[in-house]
Amino acid sequence: MSTMDDEKTLVSSKPHVMFISFPLQGHISPMVQFSKRLVSKGIKVTVVTTTSLDITNSNSINIEHILVDTTSQGKSSAEAIDEYLAVLETGITESLPEVIEKQTTEGWPVKFLIYDALMPYALEASQKVGVQGVAFCTHSSAVLAIYYHVYQRTLDFKSLEESSSVTLPSLPLLGVEDLPSYLNEMNPYTGLFTLCMKQFRGLEKAYGVMFNTFEELEGEVVNWLSSKWKIMTIGPSVPSMFLDKRLADDRDYGLSLFKPEGEACIKWLDEKDTDSVVYVSFGSLANLVQDQMDEIAWGLLNSECNFLWVVRDTEKSKLSEKFIEESADRGLIVNWCPQLEVLAHDAVGSFMTHCGWNSTLEALSLGVPMMVLPQWTDQTTNAKYIVDVWKTGVRVKAHDKESITREDITKSVKDVMEGTKREELKTNALKLKEMAIEAMSEGGSSDKNIDDFISEIVNPTTST
């Protein structure tokens, strides 16, 4: 037998797990990161994508592409999203069984499909060819609990007034403004609301539900959800060198849909004092209105703190030339950066964030206090937990749903960067950082859950 045949036999003898993610950076990154964790524990992994990805530092991960034509012309934003979601579902439903069967033909039968919870049709497709599925939630367990109550009609958003508060099992007292934005009847993206509700379609037929979180962070709601499904917390799904350091040289997610300006960012930070920089980023999707950009810009400048601000190329025209000139000595504006490296840098003292779940987990994992400026989706709920439950951040005051003032920005920066408030936030952030590291370290809560899942792959106790 040739060396190549020997290698194929060795690889094909490994238990094989397939992943499929919703095609957004914030969904792809944690799933690919978790797949690297499984590879490190001896599992064969195939990642199925609907977009062209170059996954680095992951030579052991097999990549399969499903080509989906999602071109939309002349449609409104809401119509285009609805059309995109419909085409994506059709493409995955038709193609995924063939991709799974191809692996079997090549000697790599798939034991489990780990599918993005927003894609229940992937579970249905895998079951047609006899493969069990595991839902992977890229939002918090608290958010799924809220969606579940809406799905079960035990929470009727339409009946709530603006001043209402909501009491739900295992969750803190929530205001209407703390609920995910898709629940608002004024939400124009009805397709996205439907998408969130579809997570429960056939979920009782899945092997279980994985969350990119850890028990110490969301223990009460995780326990409550465990009465509904088999729940596995497997996070934070953050590159290992920023947590337990058990995966050698694992310093990034291994993929990006954007081009980071890493060297310039880190070199600039190296020249700054410890805890002197405010890092500002609102993720890959948020589009701030002109007034918001103006107030944030001048609020940062008036705070007299150094700042590193990620502004996408499509947003840079909203920054005035006067601001760019006057902030040149204290600010660096880039179109993207290696966020984990930035958050881990000694010069960074706080993070102004939109509260996307990945960004939230990264800041918690690295012990960085936050200023929260949620925009939509689950970000409002994440902000509630950051400020009122974990007490690792402050909310940038909003006078209504969109408007903020430069005075609000300046005050929040000073609260997080100076004085007794900062000491409280930093202490709480560092405690959660240690809990996150412990969860992913050998014998930690998430590590145990991962090992238990691997045991099920290798020696299944349930029928497929």
CB 129 within 8 A of CB 181: no
Distance CA 299, CA 312 (A): 19
Distance CA 138, CA 21 (A): 10
Query: Where do runs of H (alpha helix) occur along 305-405?
Result: 321-326, 339-344, 357-365, 379-384
DSSP-based three-state secondary structure for 278: strand
27-31 long-range Cβ contacts below 8 angstroms, 24+ apart? 27/116, 27/118, 27/138, 28/53, 28/255, 28/257, 29/237, 29/253, 29/255, 29/358, 30/136, 30/138, 30/212, 30/235, 30/237, 30/358, 31/114, 31/116, 31/136, 31/138, 31/237
Distance CA 116, CA 23 (A): 10
Q: Name the active-site residue from 16, 82, 116, 378.
A: 116
- Give residue 188's Cα distance to chain centre: 23
3-state DSSP percent of the chain in helix, strand and coil, to 5: 45, 15, 40
* Phi–psi pair at 215, nearest 5 degrees: -60, -40
The yes-or-no answer on residue 27 being catalytic is yes
Q: Name the active-site residue from 27, 139, 345, 354.
A: 27
399-402-406-407 Cα dihedral, nearest 10 degrees: 20
DSSP-based three-state secondary structure for 140: coil
Rg value, the chain, Cα: 22
Query: Where do runs of H (alpha helix) occur along 106-167?
Result: 120-128, 141-151
Indicate the residue type of 264: A
Please give the positions annotated as active site: 27, 116
